[in-house]
Structure 1
């Protein structure tokens, strides 16, 4: 891709404060700048609760502890019968070129719990094991506190996403014919289809750090850590990256005197400044978006595009790994929370979310 089609890494994302979302004072113009036709499809939220900083650092540290567990421990929390959509998954998914993705490990869980709705989902969609299978967690003796911290941070992110959704609903009722008040907020707050994914991008293999595997300017093939894609759901919540030098700080899951796992030291940045999240806008330009540690980001998905009749647009995005020679022993950890409608909820005049998901996943989009 030509150099003039790449935007500066200086974040062009719209940023609003939590208090603005709570007060409902985010202007409709700001929402259009964040999510509209010419946008990056992402918004940053600042001034989060004080506990967010600690929860983020603890859970993202757990991603390194998890990724470095012995294979026999990881096998205990794999669920092939759920198509690896809950618990641990590594090397099970294929990338666009058909090879298995072994550069990252994922831990999946569904953080919103409602027994009645979960039973309904399983009865109506018994074959949709990706979204109806129960969570699984490592034993407390292996990763003490993991389940609690995972769910606590997810709930904070879902609550924040619901405030973003509430403001999007203001836009919908003002701008869209027939839009029902509270549509998106209700989806975000109540859907048991919401899926969280804790990600551990492993330090690059030695071969990728010692020889050039791609041209540095060829952005179309730089999506090696996570291939270019659109999110499926409504709003995707994202934490900032945590970069850990695992060559110096080997993440062995050994509890301290208090029975907890200490947070790992975090690098201020990756040695390769191009490593991380990139978004392709409507004109095909590629923009790096850096999420500050004290912020959350919320990205648009395909369900949201349909629900807003195309006014808010899902955008292609990818994660770029380190250029050859710049990876070292540095891992990248992050958490994504995909807020998605319940399987039976309509996303347009003809399709339930289950139908949309089946169409998109079967097409490999």
Structure 2
């Protein structure tokens, strides 16, 4: 798989706060010829320790006792609240077992009393209206626990959405200058006031070494990097298949790589032991670009709703995650990858396509159905 190392467009938090991001910079980051990603640096001092605690806890959650994980799994919410594993389709007929997810409804950002969107306003959308579930706090309890996880995770999500609001404000300034019918402050309002923003804490399980049983085929519903024959035109999206986000702006932390044999310390490795693993973006010309997010920064990717809202001025871009090749970590432990994505999304009754009056709820329902197994 041939790829180039891309340098993403970068702005400082101060640039966003002072409304001084040039339109040319936004077009370079999100426009028709862009990679659909903007990196924000110089974040508050609270960010690094929050990131460290939350991402390392993704490994702790993934290894809670099965009965605890069962209690945190919510089929009634289409597995999009709490723990989720083995129910997402990578592609037709292929179920993803390479990663586990912990989903969180972020309505608390709008109102601390909310634990999910108002179900009376959005009937039939349990994935957004179901209350959040959290693992026990007492790690000494028989069922296992993760102390401080709820508070730390909510604080990190709030910081990410605070930053997304500023990115949205910059996008509004551009859209107001380009689109005659564009409502002033539209995207910022949707990001700031949404009850349906969704966070996903991801744990990519350590890649197992190739065996004779898995040689040349997908093992357990996925294929790791060592199992793919390297071809110039072949995309190795072994940990997260090529896809578009369907919200407005997706806030991403940099990935944390951990050697899980070092438990319980779970100290972050300086970098991935496999330099080819990580986040990749597929450009309009079908070229593959690898993108690294600095550890102390946040990245924001464009989603399909943003493309609809801006009439195509900003474009959603396909992206995927390439797994750690088991041969690259042979003898170096069991390497896991953890990260947090916050999908800022409009309320379900918000119109996202002014041409067809399509609401975000109608749009999202089809996406969830397509991506959930069963």
Settle same-fold status: TM greater than 0.5: yes
Q: Does residue 25 of structure 2 align to residue 25 of structure 1?
A: no
Structure 2 gap segments, 5+ residues each: 139-144, 216-225
Question: Conserved in 1, the CA contact under 8 Å of 2:106 and 2:115?
Answer: no
Contact 1:166 1:182 in 2 (8 A): yes
Shift, 1:215, TM fit: 1.6
In structure 1, the partner of 2:167 is 164
Please list, as runs of the form range in 1=range in 2, the aligned pairs for 1:182-331 lying within 5 A after superposition: 182-207=185-210, 212-217=226-231, 220-247=234-261, 249-251=262-264, 264-328=266-330, 329-331=334-336
Instruction: Show the counterpart of 1:143.
Output: 146
CA distance in 1, matches of 2:81, 2:208: 26
CA distance 1:309–1:322, change in 2 (3 Å): same
Q: Is the 8 A contact 1:208 1:325 kept in 2?
A: no
What's the counterpart of residue 56 of structure 1? 51
Deviation at 1:323, TM superposition (A): 2.6
What's the counterpart of residue 358 of structure 1?
365
8 Å contact kept, 2:198–2:342? yes
- CA offset digits 1:247-289 (Å, max 9, x no partner): 2x124xxxxxxxxxx6x31111112111011001111111011
Q: What is the DSSP-based 3-state SS (H/G/I as helix, E as strand, rest coil) of the residue aligned with 1:325? A: helix
Shift of 1:110: 1.3
Which piece of structure 1 moves more, 61-70 or 338-347? 61-70
Q: For 1:192 and 1:174, locate their aligned partners in 2 and report how far apart those are by CA, in whole Å.
A: 28
For residue 172 of structure 1, report the CA deviation from its aligned partner: 0.8
Contact 1:14 1:30 in 2 (8 A): yes
Report which stretch shifted further, 218-227 or 30-39.
Answer: 218-227
Which of 65, 85, 91 does residue 86 from structure 2 map onto?
A: 91
Instruction: Point out where structure 1 has 5 or more consecutive residues left out of the alignment.
Output: 252-261
Q: Distance in 2 between matches of 1:120 and 1:100?
A: 28
For 2:132 and 2:69, locate their aligned partners in 1 and report how far apart those are by CA, in whole Å.
Answer: 15
TM-score scaled to structure 2, two decimals? 0.88
* Structure 2 residue 330 is the aligned partner of structure 1 residue 333: no
**Alpha-carbon distance in 2 for matches of 1:15, 1:115:** 32
In the alignment, which residue of structure 2 is the partner of 1:126?
Answer: 123
| Aligned-partner Cα distance in 2 for 1:271–1:64 | 18
TM-score of the aligned structures, taking structure 1 as reference length = 0.90
SS in 1 for 2:119: helix
Match of 1:347 among 348, 352, 359: 352
- Residue 360 of structure 1 deviates from its aligned partner by 3.2
1:224: how far off? 1.1
Q: Distance in 2 between matches of 1:78 and 1:215?
A: 36
What SS class does the counterpart of residue 176 from structure 2 fall into? helix
Instruction: Report deviation, 1:208.
Output: 6.7
- Give the secondary structure class of the aligned counterpart of 2:28: helix
Q: 2:189 matched to 1:175?
A: no
Count of matched residue positions in the alignment of Structure 1 and Structure 2: 348
Give the CA RMSD over aligned residues: 2.1
